[in-house]
Structure 1
Amino acid sequence: MAARRSLPLLVALLFAAASLHTDAASLAEADVLLKFKTIITDPGGKLSSWIAGTDPCSDGKGNGKWGGVICSDGNLHGLQLENMGLSGMLNASVGALRKLPDLRTLSFRDNQFSGPMPDVKNSAGMRSIFLSNNKLSGEIPDDAFQGMGSLKKVDLSHNEFSGPIPTSLARVPKLLQLRLDDNNFSGTIPDLRQKELHLVNVSRNELEGKIPDGLKNVRDAFFDGNKNLCGEAVGNPCATPTPPQQPSPPAPLQRVPLAPAQQKASPSPTPPPQENSIPVLAVVTLIAFGGTIAIVGAIVVALNRRREEVEVLGQPIPSRNSNKYTSFQEEKLEKDALVKYDVGSASGRKAGMAAAAGGNDQGRLVFVRNGRERFELHDLLKSSAEVLGTGNFGCTYRATLPNGPSMVVKRFRDMNRTGREDFEEHMRRLGRLSHPNLLPLVAYYYRKEEKLLVHDYVPNRSLALMLHGNRGPNHPMMTLDWPARLKIVKGAASALAYLHEELPMLGVPHGHLKSSNVLLGESLEPLLTDYALIPVMNQAHAAQFMVSYKSPERKQIGRTSKKSDVWSLGMLMLEILTGKVPMHDAQQGKESTDLVNWANSVAKEEWAGQVLDSKMSRTKDAEGQILKLLQIALACCEENVEKRWELKEAVDKIEEMTQGDGDNSSTAAEGEVDSSKAGPEDDLSSIAIN
C-alpha cells in the first residue's frame, strides 16, 4: 500500500528532474550564445534580445525567443543571423558554438565577418552552412568538411577565399548545393560525384583544368570567369596530351648471300622480313584502336545512365518526350487547354489530374494549414475537373469537391531542385504563412517526377486579365479606377514585405511577382500567388521563366538579390499605372513595352497625358498622388541595384499614399459585371502557372 502511495510522488519527482534538466540545458545553450555574442561585434544592437537568464527558445512550437535563433520543439537547432551588420573574426566565434550538440544550421549571410574559414569539420549533425557576402579570406584547409555526414548545403560565395577548393567536399555524401562563386579559388575542381548534387556554382574564380565528368551538364554560366577551365560544359575542349614518341623500328636484318649450290637448292626466294612486318603492325594497330573505341563507348553508356538517374543542373530529366514523363493524352489535353479550356469530356479532364498524380490514388495529400477540411487525393480525382490554363511550369485545374468547395490544383513539372525531405520542409514553411494578401497554400502532393500544390479557388480574374484581357463585344472589359489600383498596389507591397520578413533566408523571397500572379478577390483585394518557389524549382527552368531572373542585376552580374523583388514590384506598379505589358512578360500575347525607358523618355509634365493609362478613371485632384506613385515605381526599377530603393522604403512611401479624390471605393469604375462568371471568350490562361 505504501508503495502505491509513493508512485505519484515518484512520477512527480521524475517530471521535476526532467524539467530541471531541460532548464539546465536551456541555460547552457544561453551561456554558449552569450559567449558567442561577446566575441563578435554588434554595432546595430540586433542581438539585444539575447539576455542572460532567459530561454533562447520560447516554447515547443519552434518560435525563437531570441532574435535569429531557430528552435524546434523547444530545442535550439540553428542560427540565422543575416544582414545584421555583424562583424568580427568568425573562426574564433564559431568555435564557441561547437558546444551546441543539436546545431543544424548556421547562416551568417550579408554581414561583415572577416578572417579565415571557421572550423566546422566533424560536426556530424550540421546540415547547412551559409557564409556568403562577408569578408572571409585565406585558404580553406583540405579537410575542412571532413566527417560532415549530414551536410547538404554550403554557400561560401562572395568572399575572398583563395587557394584550392577543399577535396573533402567530394567526400560529403549528402551534398545537395554548393556555391563558391565570386572568390579567388585556384587549381582544379574536385571530382564531385554525389548522387543528389544539383547546384554547383564556381563562377568568377581562378580555376583551371578539366571540369569533372560529374559536372559536365552544369550550365556554363556557373563556370563563368574561370578563363583556364576546359571541357564540354564550357565549350572549350581540353588540349589532347601529346603521346610519347614511339621508338624507331629496328633496321631489317641483312640477308647473308648463299653459296651458288645453296641458291640452286632453294626452290623460291624467301621474302625479306620488312615485307611481312607491315600487315602485322596494321593488325596490331587496328586491334588497339578497336579496344579504345570499346572503352570509350562503355564510358559514354555509363555517363548516359548516370544522366538518366541524376538530374544535373541545367538538364531537366527525363525528357518531356519520354512516355515515362507524361502521356500523349495529357500533352494533348494541355495543348487544347491553351485555347479551349472548357472543351473535352469530364473523364478527359480528370485524366490529366490523374496522370499528374501518377495514376489512381498513389500516395496522399499532405495538408499544411490547420483548421482546414480534409479530403483525399481520390476525392479530387473523382470531382468534376476543369482545365483553367497552362503555363511555363505546368497545368492548372479547378476541381469541385463532392458536397464541398472548389479547389485549384497546380501541377508542376520542373520542381525537382530538392529532395523529398527539403521539399516537404519548405512546403510546411509556406503553410505557416498568413497574410490577407497572400493566396494560402492548403496542401501538396509529392511525387519525384511531379508535384501538386492545392490552393483555394478564387473566382475573380487575375490582374493581368483585368488590365489587358479582351472579352469580346458581349462582355465589355472591366476597367480599374485609381482607388482600385492603389488598393492593389498597397496590398501587393504589404504582402511582399511580409514575405521578406518571414522568409529572410531566401535570396529572393517571392521571385515571380507579376500581374498574372496577382489574383483579385471579391472586393478586388490582391492575392499574390506562386511565391517563394525558387528554392524548389529547377534552377535552369527558373532562370528561363521566373521574373526575378529578368532583373537588371541578373543580366549585369549574373545573380539575383532581395532587391530583385523590389524591381518586380516597381515593374508591377508601372504596369498598373500605364496599362501596358512590360517587356519581361511579353508571353501574354500583347504588344509589350520597355516601361522604364519609355516613362523616363517622356517629360514629367507630360506624364499624365502620355504615360498613364487612359482607361484609368480619376479626378484632377488625384493626379498628384498618381504621379507620385509613378516616381516610386521608377525608383524601385532603378537599373543600378545600389541606387535602387530598399523594400522597406518603398513600402513606407506607398503606405503614405492617399487616393487623393476622397473616393474610397474599390470597385471597377465602368463596365461592372459579375466577375465570377467567365464569358466564353475569356482568356483564363493568365491564372495558370506561368
Structure 2
Amino acid sequence: MMVVRAGFFHLTLFSVCFLLSYTDESEKKSQVMSEADALLGLKASFNNSADSLATWSNTSIPCDGKVPWIGIICVNGVVRGLRLRRMNLSGKIDIDALADLPYLRTVSFTDNFFTGNIPNFKKLRHLKAIYISNNHFEGFIPDKFFDGMTHLKKFWIPGNAFSGTIPSSINKMDAIMELRLENNRFSGKIPNVGEKLLRLKSFNVSHNQLVGYIPERFVHFGLSAFAGNQGLCGKPMQFSHYCSHSHDHLLHSHEDMNLIEEEEHDEHFGSIKVGVLAFLLTVLFAMLFLLLIRKNDNPSDKVNDGFTYIGRNHMTPRRNMYRAESASVHSTMSENEQSAIATRMTSFGKGALVVLNEEKGRFALSDLMKADAQSLGNGTFSSSFKAVIPNTGISVVVKCIKEMNRLDSLDFRTEMKKLAGIVGHPNVHAPIAFHYRDDEKLVVYEYVEKGSLLYNLHGDNRRTNRAALDWPTRLRIVKGITHGLQHLHEKFPESKVPHGNFKSGNILLTQNFTPLIVDYGYIPFFSPFRVKTSFLAYKTPEYIKNNVVSPKSDVYCLGIVVLELLTGNFPSQYINSGKGGIDVVHWTRNALNDKKEDEILDHRLVENLGSVEMKGIYRLLRLAVKLVRRDPDKRPSLTEVVKRIDAISDDVGASSRRRK
C-alpha cells in the first residue's frame, strides 16, 4: 500500500511539473503571438510603412531570431524597445497597440513625419525612454502628462512645435535623467521643481519662447541650455536685470513673434551677439542685443539642426536674414552696457585675425572690436553683424560661430584657406579673414548691400523691392547660382557634397542683383551630428531613405531654390519643426500632373509677360522638377543643368533683342 501511494505521489508530482512546464510554454507562445499582433497593429496605424517596415509580417515572429523585424530590440525573446528612427513614417502612433507590449521600455520615433498632439504615452507607465525628436508634433502637453511616469529616465522631444507651458508635472519624474525640450514653442516660465529631479544629468529648453527667472535647480546646466529665449534671465544669462520690473512688458512681447526659423536660432554671437527684430523699438533692440551677446546652442537630438527646416510659422518679422535692420546699437546703450560688451570683446584679443585676402583691405582684430555693430540677423550656424572698419571705410560682415569645433587651429586654417581660394568667380563670395578660438570663431566677409535672396523674396515689403525681381532678373539669378555651384563642384571634387547647405539664405545679392553663393564647404568644420541635423543636403530624399549624400544632393537643393524663385513661396523644406511654408516640390509636381502650372507661378513674376517669356518660364519650371527627382541618379548633372539654363537665357535674350 505504501508503495502504491508513493508511486501515486511521484506520478502526481510529475504531472504537476509537466502541466506547469506546458503552461509556461503556452504562455510564452501566446506572449510572442500577442507581441506580433500588437506590432502589426502599430504598423497598420502608420503611413508609408509598407517599404520601411517590410520585415514586419504575419509570416514571422518578432524575436525568434530567424527573420529580424527592423527597428525591434529584443531581450530574452521579448520586445523591449522600438527604434524607428528615419523610417519616413507618418500617420498615428497607436498607443493601445504599444500597451500590448508589456516588456516595452524604450520607444524612438525620431526624424519622421508624425503630426498632431503628443501621443498619450502616459498609458505606458513602465517606459524608461521616449524619443520623438524632429517630427511635426504640435499643441499643448497636458499639465498632468507626467503623473505616474515614475520609471521614465529619458524624454527627448526637440525639433517639434509643442506650445503652451512646460507641464508642472515634470517635478514628479523622480527617475528622470535626460529632459530635452529645445527647439519648440514653449512659453511661460520654467517650472520651479525645488530640490527634486536629483538624477537629472541633461536638460535643455533652448530656442523656445520662455520668460522669467531660471530656477536655481537648472542653473548649472549652463547658458547653452537656455539660449534663444529672449525673455529668460538670471543666472546663467549675462544680464539678469532684464527681468526687472521696468522691463516686464518686454518679456511677453516675444510670445507673439511670428519668426522665421529655417535659419533657426542656432546662431551664436561670440564676441558680439546682436538682436535682430527690427520692428521692435530701438530700446528693445538694444536690450535684446545685450541678452544675446553670449547666446549659445548645443546640438540637440534634432537637428536642423538646421535647416534645420526656416520658420515655424509664416513669413512675418524677418529673422535669420542677412540684412541690416537698424542703426548702430552703440548709440542706444548706456555706458555700463557698453562697458560690459567691451569686456566681452576683449577676450577675442587672444590670437590674431588671419587675413585671407588682402586685396579687400588690411585690418586687425582690434579694428573689429572698435567698430560699431549693426545687426544683420541670424543664420543656421551664426549670428552676423556689419562693421565699418575705423579710418578705412571698409564694410565687412562678421559671423560669430559657436559650433565650428571639429578642427584644431591648424586644420581650421588649412580648410579656411581652401574656402578663401575660391576667388575670381563672379557668383562665389569667399571669406576674407577669420579669428580662431576654442569656443568661438569669427569669419569675416565683404559686406553685400542687398542681403540674401531669402530676404529679398520673403522679407519686409517696406524694405525690399519685389518689383525689381522680374523674369529677366530671376533668370539671371538662376543662371548665376548654377554657374557658381558648378564652380564649387569643380574646385572641391573630393567632397561628398561641395556646398552641403545650399538655399536662398546662403545666396547674397549685389546692387544689380548679381547672386553670390556663401557659406559653402562648411561640412568639415562641424561635428557629424550637427552636419546631419542641420545641413540641407541631409534633408534630401536619398539621405532620409538611405543615409547617403552626394554632389547630386546639391542639385536637389538647387532645384528647391529655382522653385522658390518661380513660385514666390517659402519652401517648407527649409523648416526645422512645426508648420509653415509650402512644399514646393510636391506642389509643383501635382500642378504639372494636373496641367495647372499657371496656378503656382508667382503672380508678380508673370504679370504683363508675353507668350515667348512664358515659354521660358515653363521650360525652367520643368527643369527644376527634374532637379528634385527622388532618385539622385535621375537628376541631371550640374554640367547639363548649366547648358540647359544657358540655352533658356540665350533664347530669352534673343527674343528681347528682336522686340527692340
Q: Give TM-score, length-normalised by structure 1.
A: 0.48
Pair member with larger Rg: 1
